């Protein structure tokens, strides 16, 4: 057995681009790096040791060689696509579910047949997130979503509605106990990722979905009557309204406002937990509340998944690894120990929640969430929609701002 962890070669992108420039066709073959009988897996450095341990057991069981290579996560998608074009892509790699549309469009990943008994172990929404054009293109293992963090000394009870949150926060502000009703990052450019929870509760939507559940870029909802009405509702809490949502609150100061006791409520993410623990604030986690007469607030959910490269010389081995090993409880717990993310496998979630109640609370806060749209066109929406939402919070007419954003997004999608 050959098992090694190595840094991604610094020149991989240059090599891949050179191969593409010379007219090389993407075959998905892992080339000399992944000869038949050798399974090549790419993961980020944080999870490399955990993947290596599982891969060692897999290699021994199947009598093969496994090579585990560490690649910076932020470079993973680009490096995989470049390596695929050059003919030396890995057999398996870890990636984010919202890469799926772009990976499929480039022919770089293949559908996966997940046995029903294994599928039953996973959160159904996570499998929906990995489904594109009616086919499953990856096996998810963890999720990430935002939630409401509250100072329990200032706000002992979780608000059931956004109006209740505002009422409690406003009373605290009037009494001089806090300076902000809510810390929710908006900024001058907007933050559609965070805003989606309130946007959906008020009836807004970004993209519709077709009969297979795939996001439909032709159904752009930004300037629809429902979405404009949603932003009109949100504007009531903006700078020209109650002043709860403000552009001066950004990702640079939102956490500090909460940790310093300047607000009782904070729209936070898993990345804030360590600092929250260190701050000494007594806090609790609950779902972001929706509007009293609206639908549930639906925060975006991101999933981490294992993909199989299209055309791999070791397709059968790769599928065996992602369907049976990646769904194994012990493997997911090893990954959690290396990089604590909420598992989507029920037994693993139950195990980690028993040790860390925050994990169960974060999962509960994501129960009404929606997977981040995985179509390539999603990348064209962030900037125009964010700017429109920030302008509306600043006092611009919602219909005007959303119509302008829809034109910009449609033009960019059509390019």
Of 94, 92, 64, 1, the C-alpha closest to 332 is 94
Range of the domain at 73: 3-144+301-371
**Contact indicator for 222, 231 with CB cutoff of 8 Å:** no
User: How many domains does the chain fold into?
Assistant: 2
Which residues neighbour 43 within 8 Å (Cβ) at sequence distance 6 or greater? Answer: 51, 68, 69, 70, 71, 93, 94
Query: For 369, how many CA atoms within 13 A lie in the half-sphere containing its CB?
Result: 31
Which of residues 337, 354, 371 is at a domain's end?
Answer: 371
Share of the chain above pLDDT 90, in %: 83
Same domain, 7 and 116: yes
Write the CA distances from 148 to 154, 272, 288, 350, integer angstroms.
Answer: 14, 11, 5, 21
Same domain, 156 and 130: no
pLDDT in tens, 338-382: 888 999 999 999 999 999 999 999 999 999 999 999 999 998 999
Same domain, 88 and 38: yes
Query: Looking at residue 312, what is its pLDDT?
Result: 86
> 343 forms bridges with which residues in the sheet?
142
Kind of pairing, strands 65-70 and 3-7? Answer: parallel
Write the CA distances from 357 to 141, 257, 353, 362, integer angstroms.
Answer: 19, 24, 5, 9
Edge-to-edge strand list for the sheet holding 265-268: 265-268, 147-151, 283-286
Same domain, 74 and 7: yes
pLDDT at 43 over 70: yes
Query: Cα(35)–Cα(314) distance, rounded to whole angstroms?
Result: 8
pLDDT band of 133, cuts 50, 70, 90:
confident
Same domain, 39 and 165: no
Query: Cα(218)–Cα(225) distance, rounded to whole angstroms?
Result: 17
**Contact indicator for 22, 30 with CB cutoff of 8 Å:** no
Maximal C-alpha separation, the chain: 70
Query: Looking at residue 212, what is its pLDDT?
Result: 77
Same domain, 182 and 255: yes
Question: What CATH number corresponds to the domain at position 285?
Answer: 3.40.190.10
Same domain, 100 and 47: yes
Same domain, 121 and 156: no
pLDDT band of 36, cuts 50, 70, 90:
low
Same domain, 328 and 357: yes
Same domain, 85 and 217: no
25-34, 110-119, 195-204, 285-294: segment of lowest average pLDDT: 25-34
> 140 forms bridges with which residues in the sheet?
305
**Secondary structure of 316-367 in HEC code, one letter for each residue:** HHHHHHHHHHCCCHHHHHHHHHHCCCEECEHHHHHHHHHHCHHHHHHHHHCC
Same domain, 378 and 314: no
Query: Cα(15)–Cα(18) distance, rounded to whole angstroms?
Result: 5
Same domain, 268 and 121: no
Which whole number is the average pLDDT over 328-345?
93
Query: Cα(228)–Cα(18) distance, rounded to whole angstroms?
Result: 47
pLDDT band of 26, cuts 50, 70, 90:
very low
pLDDT at 122 over 50: yes
pLDDT in tens, 189-248: 999 999 999 999 999 999 998 887 789 999 999 999 999 999 999 999 999 999 999 999
Residue for token pair 């992602």: 322
Which whole number is the average pLDDT over 160-188?
98
pLDDT at 115 over 90: yes
């Amino acid at each position: 057995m050959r098992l090694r962890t190595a840094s991604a070669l610094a020149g991989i992108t240059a090599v891949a681009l050179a191969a593409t420039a010379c007219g090389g066709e993407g075959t998905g073959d892992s080339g000399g790096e992944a000869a038949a009988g050798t399974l090549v897996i790419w993961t980020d450095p944080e999870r490399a040791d955990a993947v290596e341990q599982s891969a060692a057991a897999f290699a021994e069981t199947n009598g093969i060689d496994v090579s585990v290579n560490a690649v910076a996560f932020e470079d993973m998608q680009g490096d995989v696509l470049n390596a695929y074009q050059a003919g030396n892509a890995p057999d398996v790699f870890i990636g984010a579910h919202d890469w799926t549309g772009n990976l499929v469009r480039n022919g770089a990943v293949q559908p996966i047949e997940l046995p029903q008994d294994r599928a039953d172990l996973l959160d159904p929404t996570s499998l929906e997130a990995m489904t594109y054009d009616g086919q499953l293109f990856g096996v998810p293992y963890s999720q990430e979503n935002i939630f409401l963090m509250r100072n329990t000394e200032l706000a002992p009870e979780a608000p059931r509605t956004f109006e209740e949150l505002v009422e409690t926060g406003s009373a605290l502000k009037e009494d001089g106990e806090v300076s902000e009703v809510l810390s929710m990052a908006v900024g001058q450019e907007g933050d559609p990722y965070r805003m989606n929870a309130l946007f959906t509760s008020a009836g807004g939507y970004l993209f519709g979905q077709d009969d297979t559940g795939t996001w439909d870029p032709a159904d752009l909802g930004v300037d629809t009557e429902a979405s404009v009405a949603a932003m009109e509702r949100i504007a009531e809490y903006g700078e020209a309204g109650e002043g709860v949502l403000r552009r001066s609150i950004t990702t640079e100061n939102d956490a500090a406002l909460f940790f310093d006791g300047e607000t009782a409520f904070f729209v936070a993410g898993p990345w804030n937990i360590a600092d929250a623990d260190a701050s000494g604030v007594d806090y609790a986690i609950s779902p972001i509340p929706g509007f009293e007469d609206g639908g549930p607030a639906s925060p975006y959910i991101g999933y981490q998944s294992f993909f199989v490269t299209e055309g791999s010389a070791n397709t059968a081995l790769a599928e065996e690894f992602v369907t049976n090993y990646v769904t194994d409880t012990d493997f997911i717990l090893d990954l959690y120990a290396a990089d604590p993310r909420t598992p989507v496998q029920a037994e693993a979630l139950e195990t980690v929640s028993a040790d860390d109640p925050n994990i169960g609370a974060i999962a509960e806060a994501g129960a009404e969430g929606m997977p981040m749209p995985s179509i390539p066109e999603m990348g064209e929406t962030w900037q125009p929609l964010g700017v429109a939402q920030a302008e509306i919070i600043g006092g611009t007419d919602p219909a005007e701002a959303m119509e302008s954003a829809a034109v910009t997004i449609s033009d960019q999608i059509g390019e």
